[in-house]
Amino acid sequence: MDRKPRRPDQPILPRALMVWLIIVGLVMGVGTLGVISWAEQAHTRPIAHTMGVVTFSLFALFFSIATKDERRTVFSLDTFSDKTFNIATGVSVLTLILATVFGPFEAFLKTTSLDLAQWLICTGVALSIIVVSEIRKAIRRRAAARTVPAEQPAPSPAAAAA
């Protein structure tokens, strides 16, 4: 509510944001499809399907955490300072786990149980979105630091008296 509404002639998604969302979509898509493709070769089709669901869900979860603040690193203590966000994140994690261990959810989603190694593969691939987001944030912070003029030192008392 602190911001003025955008002008009607401005795009809803500025070009930079559109490019960023395309990059995120590509990372998520390639990562998820890569896990599915690998899992189809190494495991059964139901495991591959489940690993795809888990990987994509973890991508979305990690992306929500990474984009909570557009400039601050996800490794900041403030990342988990919002109680509502923490509850929503916890519910998401619980729901994701239930999708792979709770019979009715498994039947509805056509998923199956995963072992620890499979969970770690899904998690490792999905964490790549944190890496990509942190690189973007570092670039944005560096660009912002360059555009802010350096503070001029205050004049010395002798210079002020002259």
pLDDT tens-digit readout, 97-147 = 999 999 999 999 999 999 999 999 999 999 999 999 999 998 888 888 887
pLDDT of amino acid 141: 86
Overall domain count for the chain: 1
pLDDT at 70 > cutoff 90: no
pTM: 0.81
Domain contains 134: yes
Domain contains 131: yes
Range in 17-26, 39-48, 73-82, 133-142 the model is least confident about = 73-82
Range of the domain at 19: 15-139
Cα 82 to Cα 76: distance, rounded to the nearest angstrom = 13
Domain contains 109: yes
What letter does residue 9 receive in the DSSP assignment?
T
pLDDT of amino acid 157: 53
Domain contains 105: yes
Residue count of the chain: 162
Domain contains 96: yes
Helix axes 116-126, 15-42, angle to 10 degrees: 160
pLDDT of amino acid 151: 56
Nearest to 24 by CA among 119, 104, 136: 136
Domain contains 5: no
Domain contains 158: no
Domain contains 114: yes
Average predicted confidence (pLDDT) for the chain: 88
* Cβ–Cβ under 8 Å, residues 133 and 20: no
